[in-house]
Structure 1
């Protein structure tokens, strides 16, 4: 069974595309407009790009009427947005924050989460989330789709500050995945939760490769 997804209807009742690009980490992004209006929304097309320096991206589809997402506009206008880790404990708040609300209604209030001031960004962080990135806007790349809603803005940013809940780290200073239980998007209406891990090391990898894979700091001296 095969088909051309750009030109043919799926031979299955539901397109398998998003069901195969899994699991997708969730960009639960808070931002604020140039007028001070807050926004909080989840994006399943979110990913890290590189680690030296840390860079991230998210892709936001337009609305059917051609309007661009508030997070994109806010990032472009203010130069900042915040990533908040989406966890199993916060799954309902993440889902509620995806609702299309009037501009005067805050997703923070509607989802029942607490604001916490960021250090660099005017956008608040979700206090209940254990990890946050303060992201400085770099650029937007627009990709035209076959439909209005298929057209996307791909936003790139550098991570300027990382906030960590010390209680969500292991004794050796790693993210305690089993405790935090991040959630991720699957296909259809499905999600998954990450609560177990296993380790594999690349045979024959040199020390630089091992350092990068292991998350060791780059570009710093032993004193720094």
Structure 2
């Protein structure tokens, strides 16, 4: 099967998200004039080592946020955000925080997620997350399409939960990292393996 996206695929559900998967989930926390916010984004990834940098993309909008979503509106105000890594044990509260709640609703409180202060930025983080990346915004890039916006950030502080460090490595199997598939599908990292590169 071949299709051009502008022509449609003719399938009951869009296959694009399922093709580009699994994707890590950036559980983005922000602080703005209306308070604290927490929302998951599956268009998220690391993009550079030195200095460490990440990106996430917002692809929809809310009527009460002038063409964007709460996370985007708030990081535009503050210039900072925090990426919290999602574990399998947090799947239900992560999902609850994904709702299009009215601006000003604190999803930490709504979902019963404990918050903690970041160290290098004025922003909350998920207190019990396996890891949290404190970030200052470096670029906000409008993308083609309605309400598509990419945010790039430099990581200024990293929190890691002690039980996730095993033999000197941050071990994603120790907490069963959650990843997003297509449609309403998710997966869990329970097994990893190594490959030696040709130039190792």
Say whether the fold is shared (TM-score over 0.5).
yes
1:57-68 pair list within 5 angstroms? 57-63=55-61, 67-68=67-68
Q: Deviations over 1:124-158 (max 9, x none)?
A: 1111212110001111110121xx3xx31110110
Tell me the CA shift for residue 204 of structure 1.
Answer: 2.4
Q: Does 1:177 align with 2:176?
A: no
Select the structure of larger CA radius of gyration. Answer: 1
Q: Does 1:92 align with 2:88?
A: no
> 3-state SS of the aligned residue for 2:153?
strand
Alignment correspondent of 1:9? 8
> 3-state SS of the aligned residue for 1:201?
coil
Q: 2:34 touches 2:104 (CA, 8 Å); kept in 1?
A: no
Q: Does 1:132 align with 2:132?
A: yes
Alignment correspondent of 1:44? 42
Contiguous gaps of at least 5 residues in structure 1: 206-224
Q: Deviations over 1:61-96 (max 9, x none)?
A: 132756211211221211111111111000001100
Contiguous gaps of at least 5 residues in structure 2: none
TM-score, normalization by structure 1: 0.84
Alignment correspondent of 1:25? 24
Q: Aligned in 2, Cα 1:173/1:166: closer, same or farther, shift over 3 Å? A: same
Q: 2:128 touches 2:161 (CA, 8 Å); kept in 1?
A: no
Alignment correspondent of 2:162? 166
Tell me the CA shift for residue 40 of structure 1.
Answer: 0.2
Tell me the CA shift for residue 14 of structure 1.
Answer: 1.6
Cα distance between partner residues in 1 of 2:186 and 2:90: 13
Task: State the Cα RMSD in Å.
Answer: 1.4
Alignment correspondent of 1:212? none
Tell me the CA shift for residue 202 of structure 1.
Answer: 0.9
1:61-210 pair list within 5 angstroms? 61-63=59-61, 67-145=67-145, 148=146, 151-170=147-166, 172-205=167-200
Indicate the structure with greater strand content: 2
Cα distance between partner residues in 2 of 1:62 and 1:20: 20
Q: Aligned in 2, Cα 1:36/1:13: closer, same or farther, shift over 3 Å? A: closer
Alignment correspondent of 1:220? none
User: How many positions carry a matched residue from both structures?
Assistant: 198
